[in-house]
């Protein structure tokens, strides 16, 4: 390969690693890529003819760039093609995917497996530049190196705009649906060691002994996680504890970091029920989540607190705005704040409205999960849509990757 006048940087082996390489057959994309190469003083030879499969073939025998641009042609063939790429890319290579698939679920899936950016064709030089900039920034949400594209649990943190709005209900049901209906290995972590209600909601015995580890994070290792997590079924595990309320527990950022580090390799999705009082422990979780959900209600107070969380995520943490979910919709009847007014005040659309249903109360009273006991009511259907929003698709459409099969085998599955 002729690197021409490309600016280089040493890779792990001490060889020169290219900053960027592209594979596409699309003439419009090539025009934009050529301009992009020119703007960066890179040789046009970094643009190769071919798609993601060609890239995997090429990178079997050539060094990987730091950022790889690949063209995908169909939703169905992408998972296998990304697997093949993961097998050949050197550690650290980030991936920008481009294609004509205009499906939000596909975009979510790409983000979930760790692709840095998706450029819908035709794209402009500005969107390519923005994607490249995002990918090369050292922020937490700029994608996963290609070599690790799949084995990385996505973290979804749920906060309640106000107490009692239904954050725990959303967490428990979403985790249950992801595990049982969408067939993902899911962990549900209750980040409130003293007042958390996840175990109550599932009628499980809360764990004990987490406090010590939260205060001394070096004790949190893989074995510890296996010991303290309660397995609800094959796909769903819970971490929840009921520590004494006599003292204040001083869980640190390091505890959250250690919990993430130890749970991420074991699951596909990690759902966190976050207490509303923010501490270094919970702030770390918010800042390092792939997605944040804010459960709210259509009231003035719900709007005020939603706005504060929105601003905190956007302006302070500099992460994507939370996905807002309105719960117990309809409970206040005509006294409920109109949805359009709420959306106007927040400056965001509310995509998910979960109606108020007595079934939810009934389920909570006996430690049952609404998604299990009342499968076909509108509230459960919205909870399904919410879970699918993050996983990308319903179970039967979920593309199966080679790694899924390998992991299933390692874990004793078929
Ligand atoms: N959509 C709903 N309809 C009716 N009751 C609900 C709904 N969602 C939650 N609840 C009930 O509201 C109460 C508070 O819910 P919870 O999930 O514990 O809130 P939070 O975690 O925000 O404090 C519980 O009794 C729960 O069963
Ligand atoms: Mg709660």
> What are the helix and strand counts (H, E) for the chain?
17, 15
CA dihedral 382, 384, 388, 389 (to 10 degrees): 20
Q: Is there an atom of ligand 1 within 6 Å of 24 CB?
A: no
Is 371 inside any structural domain? yes
pLDDT of residue 405: 44
Q: Is there an atom of ligand 1 within 6 Å of 197 CB?
A: yes
Is 107 inside any structural domain? yes
* Nearest protein Cα to ligand 1, atom 11: 361
69 and 49 fall within a common domain: yes
Task: For residue 163, give the ligand 1 atom closest to its CA.
Answer: 23
Distance 163 CA to ligand 1 centre (A): 10
pLDDT of residue 409: 42
Long-range pairs of 367-372 with CB within 8 A, sequence gap ≥ 24 = 367/200, 367/201, 367/202, 367/203, 367/204, 368/203, 369/172, 369/173, 369/176, 369/201, 369/202, 370/169, 370/173, 371/173, 371/176, 371/177, 371/180, 371/181, 372/176, 372/180
57 and 140 fall within a common domain: yes
Out of 133, 148, 163, pick the residue that ends a domain. 148
CATH of the domain at 245: 3.40.50.300
301 and 330 fall within a common domain: yes
172 and 67 fall within a common domain: no
Record the pTM. Answer: 0.66
341 and 318 fall within a common domain: yes
Report which DSSP code applies to 196.
-
pLDDT of residue 209: 72
Is 168 inside any structural domain? yes
pLDDT of residue 141: 56
Q: Is there an atom of ligand 1 within 6 Å of 143 CB?
A: no
52 and 89 fall within a common domain: yes
CATH of the domain at 77: 3.40.50.2300
209 and 305 fall within a common domain: yes
281 and 403 fall within a common domain: yes
Distance 319 CA to ligand 2 centre (A): 23
Domain boundaries, position 180: 154-410
Q: Is there an atom of ligand 1 within 6 Å of 191 CB?
A: no
Tell me which residue has tokens 């309105």.
326
Is 387 inside any structural domain? yes
319 and 368 fall within a common domain: yes
167 and 194 fall within a common domain: yes
pLDDT of residue 395: 44
User: Mean pLDDT per 10-residue run, the chain (414 residues)?
Assistant: 32 63 97 96 95 93 93 86 85 90 83 86 95 77 58 88 96 96 93 93 85 87 87 93 90 93 90 94 94 97 97 91 96 92 96 93 87 93 95 52 45 37
Which ligand is the nearest neighbour of the Cα of 360? 1
Task: For residue 201, give the ligand 1 atom closest to its CA.
Answer: 18
Q: Is there an atom of ligand 1 within 6 Å of 354 CB?
A: yes
Residues near 411 by beta carbon (within 8 Å), at least 6 away in sequence: none
For residue 151, count other CB atoms closer than 10 A to its CB: 19
pLDDT of residue 38: 96
Q: Residue 152: is it exposed, middle or buried by C-beta count within 10 angstroms (0-12/13-18/19+)? A: middle
Cβ atoms 189, 339 nearer than 8 A: no
228 and 370 fall within a common domain: yes
pLDDT of residue 352: 97
Is 1 inside any structural domain? no
Q: In the 3-class helix/strand/coil scheme, how is 55-75 assigned residue by residue?
A: HHHHHHHCCCCCEEEEECCCC
Distance 381 CA to ligand 2 centre (A): 21
Out of 106, 123, 148, pick the residue that ends a domain. 148
158 and 137 fall within a common domain: no
Site to probe by mutation for ligand 1, drawn from 158, 160, 166 as the one with most ligand atoms within 8 Å of Cβ, is 166
- Could you tell me whether strands 94-99 and 117-120 are parallel, antiparallel, or unpaired per DSSP bridges? parallel
Element (H, E) at 238: strand 236-239
Structure tokens at 309: 């969380």
Structure tokens at 225: 């996680």
Domain count across the chain:
2
pLDDT of residue 148: 54
Which of 154, 366, 360 is closest to 272 using CA atoms?
154
Is 4 inside any structural domain? no
Distance 181 CA to ligand 1 centre (A): 22
pLDDT of residue 406: 44
Out of 114, 148, 182, pick the residue that ends a domain. 148
């Amino acid at each position: 390969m002729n690197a021409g006048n490309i600016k280089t940087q040493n890779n792990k082996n001490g060889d020169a690693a290219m900053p960027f390489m592209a594979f596409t057959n699309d003439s419009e994309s090539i025009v934009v890529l050529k301009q992009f190469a020119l703007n960066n003083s890179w040789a046009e030879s970094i643009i190769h003819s071919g798609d993601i499969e060609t890239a995997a073939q090429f990178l079997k025998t050539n060094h990987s760039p730091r950022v790889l641009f690949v063209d995908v042609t169909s939703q169905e063939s992408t998972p296998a093609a990304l697997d093949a790429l993961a097998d050949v890319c050197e550690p650290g290579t980030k991936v920008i995917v481009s294609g004509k698939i205009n499906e939000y679920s596909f975009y979510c899936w790409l983000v979930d497996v760790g692709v840095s950016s998706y450029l819908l064709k035709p794209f402009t030089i500005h969107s390519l530049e923005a994607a490249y900039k995002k990918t090369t920034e050292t922020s937490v949400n700029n994608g996963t190196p290609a070599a690790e594209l799949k084995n990385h649990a996505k973290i979804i943190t749920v906060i309640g705009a106000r107490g009692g709005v239904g954050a725990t209900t959303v967490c428990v049901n979403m985790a249950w649906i992801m595990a049982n209906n969408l067939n993902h290995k899911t962990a549900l972590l209750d980040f409130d060691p003293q007042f958390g209600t996840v175990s109550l909601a599932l009628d499980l015995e809360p764990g004990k002994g987490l406090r010590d580890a939260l205060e001394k994070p070096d004790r949190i290792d893989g074995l510890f996680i296996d010991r303290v997590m309660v397995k609800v079924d094959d796909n769903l595990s819970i971490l929840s504890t009921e520590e004494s309320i006599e003292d204040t527990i001083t869980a640190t950022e390091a505890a959250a970091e250690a919990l993430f580090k130890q749970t991420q390799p074991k699951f596909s999705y990690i759902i966190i029920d976050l207490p509303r009082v923010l501490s270094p422990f919970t702030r770390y979780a918010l800042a390092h989540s792939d997605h944040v959900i804010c459960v709210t209600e259509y009231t003035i107070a719900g709007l005020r607190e939603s706005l504060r969380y929105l601003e905190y995520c956007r302006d302070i943490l500099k992460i994507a705005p939370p996905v807002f979910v309105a719960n117990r919709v309809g409970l206040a009847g005509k006294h409920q704040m109109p949805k359009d007014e709420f959306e106007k005040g927040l400056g965001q659309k509310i995509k998910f409205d979960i109606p108020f249903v007595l079934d939810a109360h009934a389920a909570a009273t006996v430690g049952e999960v609404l998604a299990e006991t009342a499968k076909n009511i509108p509230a459960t259907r919205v909870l399904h849509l919410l879970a699918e929003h993050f996983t990308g698709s319903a179970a039967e459409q979920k593309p199966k990757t080679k790694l899924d099969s390998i992991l299933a085998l390692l874990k004793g599955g078929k």
